[in-house]
Amino acid sequence: MSDVIAAPTHCPYCALQCGMSLRPTGRPELPVEVVERSDFPVNRGALCGKGRTAPAVLSSRVRLTEPLVRCPDTGRLEPATWEEALAAVADGLRRTRADHGPDAVGVFGGGGLTNEKAYLLGKFARLVLATSQIDYNGRFCMSSAAAAHNRAFGLDRGLPFPLEDIPHTGCVILVGSNLAETMPPALRYLTELKANGGKLIVVDPRRTRTAEQANLHLAPRPGTDLALALGLLHLVVAEGRTDEEFIAARTDGWEAARAGAMAHWPEHVERITGIPVPELREAVKMFCDAPSGMVLTARGPEQQSKGTDTVGAWINLCLATGRAGRLYSGYGCLTGQGNGQGGREHGQKADQLPGYRKLDDPAARAHVAGVWGVAPDSLPGPGRSAYELLDALGGEVRSLLLMGSNPVVSAPRAAHIEGRLRSLDFLAVADVVLSETAELADVVLPVTQWAEETGTTTNLEGRVLLRRQALTPPAGVRSDLQVMNALASLLGWEKGFPTDPEEVFDELRRASAGGPADYSGIDYRRVQEENGVFWPCPAGTDDSAAEHPGTPRLFLDRFATADGRARFVPVVHRAAAEETDADYPVVLTTGRVVSQYQSGAQTRRVDELNAAAPGSFVELHPRLAERLGVADGERVAVVSRRGRSVAPARITAAIRPDTVFMPFHWPGEGRANTLTNPALDPVSRMPEFKVCAVRLEPAAESPADSAADA
């Protein structure tokens, strides 16, 4: 039986990183169980079903416990020793580099990796493999909000204030988020907001469980959030509700942004969005009459080919009304993945170095190269973004090392990406389960999970947290840090890749020092004693200097730009990359359900969660169902220009009649991402998951080809 130590820790799933504790059970098949931990301020003991059942994935019944190598004779993945598996990975990567050059080797990471893993993975790619071709699935999460944050404020942190501030604001506009299902413990902040007399406006094409809590629900046509934000700003100007003192004192660029908004008069916006003018006016009144206000966005407005401009328009609304850089007011993004924030700060994005430094900045290169002990010009430049990297597989990128991601299910135009993965010369996957992507690999490396390892994550507030190892992993499982250490050694790097997470974190601190995401004043002791530390948190200048307290609230005194002023960015509405037409007359939007998480690689292995959410479905309005002759529960085919998916119909008046919704957690014929459009935002390189044109037809009448784009 594994050796169990009871320990406080954090949930392995979403970016709330809810606090929990693990208690020994004495049962070998499930050695720990979750108990509430009320001392952590984010969730105060509350947990969703995913958090409560997280230990189920630790069971050897569902997880990987030994390496697998594809047998050349049978074509099947067969058990192997660690020495055989690591040698095969090193040989595959080495051979590709020798035959095609370093950029023919790609690395794809994940937003669930700890800060230590993300940091070391970026270092491994750029030093050991000398490749520029590294990115991660967090590019699919909130990259548009990050880009807009940087343009407007000079710094990207999902929430520039702690969650505890939300109940104290006067009005929240929640755009494209269904907190009740994606982050259930966070719903209490909206409940407390209303109990305090605050107002809630929810923007979503579906009347979700979250929208049901709203004082006002705006249901725009998917892909029109940009027009909506501009229309609201137009009304703010027309009704004389701008905060001219704040605009003059703390911003630049207002005139150009104002001119863009004035081209979006209410009736024009109603035609684009489908939201009646009286509702637009009510939203402006509700937001501006309140003494303070926040706009919170999530994947709805961000996962669009114009996501950066869309978020920018909502930021402009905050700036124009003085709802930024003030206590209980501001714009924030609800990061989705467990370490989506920290994962993009320390080097696994194509264009970034640790500390949120830019890879093409000479000073940033010099600093990080100094920490790594290499010449700055030896570091490769920026590489391809996530989708572009996946799309290049089998062509310019011939081998791939993948850690903690499942793009066969999660990538847009997924059948095509599955084909790209199959066309690789060599694929190595490190994961805790045999995901749909791992099933395609030449080598699969079983790695430790959240309860079996120590490491830090950074939640959606920018709060750096510590998960302490509570459970000894199975004998055949190693940590990702051990994997990178061994591969580095086999590829000629004997030093620089520690296996001790605290040693890695101490190096990360030095590499981040002086950068936008400065962790240099944070250590494991502080994180544990203080229930997390908010970055930026620089180290003292000498031994006697007091510890920096961390920064729970950004921008109260100045924004992170060179002159301390926020930037309005002028934007105008433009159509989605793919509009409906006679052949594809319905809009598809995608999202999550409460009992599954992301690609479902882990949650689909938990019986309790599968019982609650057993498979994909197509949500459609009764009028659309009647027109198609589709009954509730009947299998229906959804067809886009990229492929075809089939799932049972779920008929509800809670969705627009011109829109259908599919959750994206499942593979196979119900895979929603078979349909989605990989059109990219020009700034963030975010794919347009949230809107594409489709047609619906009874499944029996459709051709049996669910991978038309492969």
Do 143-333 and 586-701 show the same overall fold? Answer: no
* Rounded Cα distance, 261 and 512, in Å: 38
Q: Which of 67-81, 337-351, 450-464, 565-579 has the lowest mean pLDDT?
A: 337-351
pTM over 0.75: yes
- Predicted pLDDT at 4: 47
Q: Is the dihedral of CA 490, 494, 499, 502 positive or negative?
A: negative
Amino acid, single-letter form, for residue 516: P
Contacts of 213 (CB under 8 A, 6+ apart): 180, 187, 190, 191, 194, 200, 202
Average pLDDT on 172-190 reads 97
> In the structure, what pLDDT confidence band is assigned to residue 701 with cuts at 50, 70 and 90?
low
- Predicted pLDDT at 194: 98
Average pLDDT on 453-466 reads 97
* Whether CATH 3.40.50.720 fits 70-134+342-456+479-500: no
The residue count for the chain: 710
- Predicted pLDDT at 404: 93
> In the structure, what pLDDT confidence band is assigned to residue 700 with cuts at 50, 70 and 90?
confident
- Given a cut of 90, is residue 671 above it in pLDDT? yes
Asked if residue 3 lies in contact with residue 495, where contact means CB atoms within 8 angstroms, the answer is: no
**Counts of helices then strands in the chain (DSSP H, E):** 23, 30
- Predicted pLDDT at 2: 45
Domain 586-701 -> CATH class: mainly beta
Average pLDDT on 550-570 reads 98
* Rounded Cα distance, 62 and 44, in Å: 30
Domain 7-58 -> CATH class: mainly beta
- Given a cut of 60, is residue 707 above it in pLDDT? no
- Given a cut of 90, is residue 207 above it in pLDDT? yes
- Predicted pLDDT at 427: 98
- Predicted pLDDT at 543: 62
pLDDT above 70 covers a percentage of the chain that reads 97
Please state which CATH number belongs to domain 143-333.
3.40.228.10
- Predicted pLDDT at 215: 98
Domain-wise residue ranges, the chain: 7-58, 70-134+342-456+479-500, 143-333, 586-701
- Predicted pLDDT at 1: 35
- Predicted pLDDT at 540: 81
Average pLDDT on 467-479 reads 94
pLDDT per residue as tens digits for the range 382-418: 999 999 999 999 999 999 999 999 999 999 999 999 9
Contacts of 153 (CB under 8 A, 6+ apart): 160, 315, 324, 554, 555, 559, 560, 561, 566, 567
pLDDT per residue as tens digits for the range 674-694: 999 999 999 999 999 999 999
Average pLDDT on 329-340 reads 92
- Predicted pLDDT at 545: 62
Helix axes 501-512, 115-123, angle to 10 degrees: 70
Q: List Cα–Cα distances, 397 to 121, 352, 428, in angstroms.
A: 18, 20, 14
Q: Residue 61: exposed, middle, or buried by beta-carbon count in 10 A (0-12, 13-18, 19+)?
A: exposed
